[in-house]
Structure 1
Amino acid sequence: MSSVPTYSTSPGMPSAPRQRRLSTARARIIGWMLLLVLAALALLTLVTWQLSVDDVNRRMDEALRSEIREFGTLTESGIDPATGRPFAGVDEVLNVAITYNLARPNEKFLGYVDGRFAYQSRQQAPVLLANDPNFTAQVATVREPTEGRYDSEAGEVRYLAVPVRLDGDPRHGVIVAAYFADQERQDVNEIARLMLGVGVGTVLLATAGAWVVAGRILRPLRDITATARSITDTDLSRRIPQRSDRPGDEIGELVNTVNAMLDRVESAVVEQRRFVDDAGHELRTPITIVRGHLEVLDPADPEDVANTVELVDDELGRMNRMVSDLLLLARSEQPEFLRPEPVDLAALTEAIFDKVTGLGERDWVLDSVARVEAVLDPQRVTQAVVALADNAVHHTSDGARIALGSDHGPGVVRFWVADSGVGVAEEDRERIFERFARGGSGRRSDGAGLGLSIVRAIAVAHGGRVTLDSEPGRGATFTVEVPAVAAPPHGRHTEGRR
């Protein structure tokens, strides 16, 4: 049997573009798969061929022994079955034995007398062993049954030579049963070559299919590359298409992970830009005011200097408060912004109420308290409720009623501040939670317009929200609703955002 073919990817020096193509992940996957499949095919073919050859060899050996046993059965009586008389000599024994036994395809019977060829069966043979002196020398004079191999011009010959003696005849005879082994194995070799041919064709078809399948499997990686290339410092909105949501799909999990990472990056960049834009926009006004007054300052006029210093100090204080609020909003996106702990809501609500009563001359009312324990950041919640109370003070007049309270529901706790002011117009209800936004009705605060943004940021950081119930002329009720257990840091960057 011919050796299993091997494959080389470099019959000559490949071009640089070809090397680059073969270096891709897709080509490497196909290359390794092709190598493994070819190795498996070669191993399977080799093992199958070897087992088949062993089976053919075993059948040839069994057939040789069977032929010799038949020779012995035919001649052991010493009577010629054709005439019924005793054999006259060794030559007659050989002639009758070879004549009465029909040789199989690729099998040959030969008889030798005193070392010389005498008889052979009539079947055609690839070569004439009778004329081969080397074969004759190897088998014609054996003194005991001998099995052996002989390399003839037609390939391997497997034989069994048995000496024949007859009482009263001094001559020495040998009968030989021989198989042309290579010809007997020819069918097995043809099957092995057919297996290789069909296997190689199947591998080529499988390679073409695998090329397509590998392309589909690796498409998310190309999408990741294309998306990464398309993202710029001005456009972070691109996301990788999700082509599969099957559980356990590693590529799908990779896409989801990368998209989640891009969401976090975009959120961080947006917050950074918002901080820079807001700070640049809002700080420009007090800086302009300070610069304008300093430019017209008369150093020789003590009163003018005193008034200018007072104005500059006031503007610097406003700028400091504004920067502090902006930094607080920026930190609200960080995991360490909250420090949740078990809190008695009744005690927390009463403590907040005691603090806000000093914000202004109002009719302060503690409506109710939630007598339950929750896990939240008490300092941040206090900051949010105080900001709502301060907002209510700025939008009501002396003696106006402001109510504060807390309650709890299934899995949530709520803090609210209700005032009796002019309320919030329908068109302002979303806008007032934006940074530097102010309502269009009622008295205008002298703040920077960041209070309600901070309140919403604190609620969102807990995994909650801020709601507003208001009608113009009937006051407004702001409610901070948060889970009874603060949300984990990784889940709150987009939750509740408007």
Structure 2
Amino acid sequence: MLLLVLSSLGVVTLVTWLLLIDETDRRIETALTSEIAEFARVTETGVNPTTGQPYGSVDEILRSVIAANVARPNEKFMGYLDGEFRWESRRTSPRVLLREDPAFNALVSSVQRPTRGSYESVAGEVRWSALPVGLAGDPAGGVIVIGYFTDQEHEFANEAARLMVIVGVGTALLAAVGAWLVAGRILRPLRDVAATARTITGTDLSHRVPQHAGARDEIAELAGTLNAMLDRVQSGMEAQRRFVDDAGHELRTPITIVRGHLGVLDPCDPDDVADTVALVDDELERMNRLVSEMLALTRAEQPSLLRPELVEVAELTRDLFDKLTGLADRDWLLQSVAPVRVRMDPHRITQAVVALADNATRFTGPGDRIALGSEIVRGRVRIWVADTGPGVAPEDRTRVFRRFARGENAPRSDGAGLGLSIVEAIATTHGGRVLLESTPGRGATFTLDLPGDTR
């Protein structure tokens, strides 16, 4: 940034200097043109403006014209008579005597017509304009010369450029110091981010990026985003560890049972062999169901596996009711349907509702009522399964959604305790949630609360 600032300053200074030089050169050219025109008018009248009498000689014309005009700074008026220097303006700034320069005298003293040129003197470039002067009755020939010392005229532009460079460099140095201090404060949180990232390992995700109270800039937003990401990663890692531990525990039990019975198997006893084979087959079937449910839960947790489409919720509800009535001998009831089209994955929603209904059949008996329904509530779609079973105890309402968990009053089943976890994962990947309403002894209602997105 400092290089960019200095480069910009250099460009601005150069352009300003060139503009000032150009303006000075045009002013010199204009002055030379106007001075020569004025001298020409004076000499053409043939009358001395000081005395009002006609000029008596060319020498008088030179002296009168040069004396009557005051030279500007860095400007000289000179008069030559018959090739020899004769008169010079009183102001001699700069103090360079061009009349003592033979080369310049030879260049300008004998011109025969108005002439303009440039000459390199010891004081730098001189831009000059010469006007021949003559008078009837006087055989002498004169020349009036106007000279401008352009290097001295350019000094103002040079001084302005020097001042701009000095001020610009000083300002850039002050800006560099300020930028160094400010950049250090700005980049300190980034160093904290890097330091925190180095402390995070595969087994320790507890460290967080320090956040300063009241900070609301982009760095603070970055730190907050990283901390939120670390929270999600840590939560996912902990959930994965719990899942692996629970799955290992669930699989270890049937494996232990199988190994125990195989260890005491009497190969010579056909009845013992038959009983052991039946037990091993049952335990293997249970492990197969456990693995299948674990895979189903993994798929349900991946939003990328969703295949959303516009679904007629009323039609889906009726189709679900037709499927659910074959699960068990219960008093099935279709309470209501929502006449709306919503974008969802009908196969996943069907999987979730069937899991809820299957769970309801486990907690009810023949003749008990299980109800299905759907409705629109404040722009959201709700699909529920309600039963008249024993309900869920208040202390179990959170626990039943955990993996491999069952309620205290849950009947023994062949499931692994992943059914409600799968239902919750399906609802979450749809951007929704699972609601539970239950009164112990009076049944439970599980509701899929989903966004009413129609796009």
TM range (shorter): 0.7 to 0.9
Asked if structure 2 preserves the Cα contact closer than 8 Å seen for 1:112 and 1:119, the reply is: yes
1:49 is matched with: 17
Q: TM-score, length-normalised on structure 1?
A: 0.79
The range that moved more, 62-71 or 210-219, is 210-219
In structure 2, C-alpha distance between the alignment counterparts of 1:312 and 1:112, rounded to whole Å = 133
The range that moved more, 275-284 or 208-217, is 208-217
Give the partner amino acid of 1:368. Q
1:141 is matched with: 110
In structure 2, C-alpha distance between the alignment counterparts of 1:419 and 1:53, rounded to whole Å = 96
Give the partner amino acid of 2:72. R
Out of 363, 370, 375, the position equivalent to 2:337 is 370
Q: TM-score, length-normalised on structure 2?
A: 0.86
Give the partner amino acid of 1:114. D
- Given the alignment of the two structures, is residue 399 of structure 1 paired with residue 399 of structure 2, yes or no? no
The range that moved more, 171-180 or 321-330, is 171-180
What is the 5 A alignment of 1:154-233?
A: 154-211=123-180, 225-226=194-195, 228-233=197-202
What is the 5 A alignment of 1:399-438?
A: 399-410=366-377, 411-438=379-406
Unaligned runs of 5+ in 2: none
1:22 is matched with: none
1:234 is matched with: 203
Unaligned runs of 5+ in 1: 1-29, 489-498
Give the partner amino acid of 1:370. V
1:127 is matched with: 96
In structure 2, C-alpha distance between the alignment counterparts of 1:169 and 1:437, rounded to whole Å = 132
Give the percent of matched residue pairs that are identical in Structure 1 and Structure 2: 60
1:283 is matched with: 251
Q: Deviations over 1:68-100 (max 9, x none)?
A: 344334443434455565444322222222222
Alpha-carbon shift at residue 466 of structure 1 (Å): 1.8
1:23 is matched with: none
C-alpha change, 1:422 and 1:71, in structure 2 (3 Å) is closer
RMSD: 3.4
Alpha-carbon shift at residue 227 of structure 1 (Å): 5.3
- Given the alignment of the two structures, is residue 152 of structure 1 paired with residue 121 of structure 2, yes or no? yes
In structure 2, C-alpha distance between the alignment counterparts of 1:368 and 1:160, rounded to whole Å = 111
1:97 is matched with: 65
The range that moved more, 214-223 or 429-438, is 214-223
1:14 is matched with: none
Asked if structure 2 preserves the Cα contact closer than 8 Å seen for 1:145 and 1:163, the reply is: yes
Q: Deviations over 1:124-170 (max 9, x none)?
A: 24211111111111111111111111111111112111112122222
**Secondary structure class of the residue paired with 1:365:** strand
Alpha-carbon shift at residue 468 of structure 1 (Å): 1.7
Alpha-carbon shift at residue 443 of structure 1 (Å): 3.2
- Given the alignment of the two structures, is residue 329 of structure 1 paired with residue 297 of structure 2, yes or no? yes
In structure 2, C-alpha distance between the alignment counterparts of 1:218 and 1:101, rounded to whole Å = 68
Alpha-carbon shift at residue 208 of structure 1 (Å): 4.2
2:450 is matched with: 482
In structure 2, C-alpha distance between the alignment counterparts of 1:344 and 1:206, rounded to whole Å = 65
C-alpha change, 1:315 and 1:73, in structure 2 (3 Å) is same
C-alpha change, 1:83 and 1:342, in structure 2 (3 Å) is closer
1:297 is matched with: 265
C-alpha change, 1:116 and 1:275, in structure 2 (3 Å) is same
Alpha-carbon shift at residue 422 of structure 1 (Å): 2.4
Alpha-carbon shift at residue 402 of structure 1 (Å): 2.5
In structure 2, C-alpha distance between the alignment counterparts of 1:277 and 1:479, rounded to whole Å = 29
Alpha-carbon shift at residue 109 of structure 1 (Å): 1.7
Give the partner amino acid of 1:64. L
Alpha-carbon shift at residue 218 of structure 1 (Å): 6.5
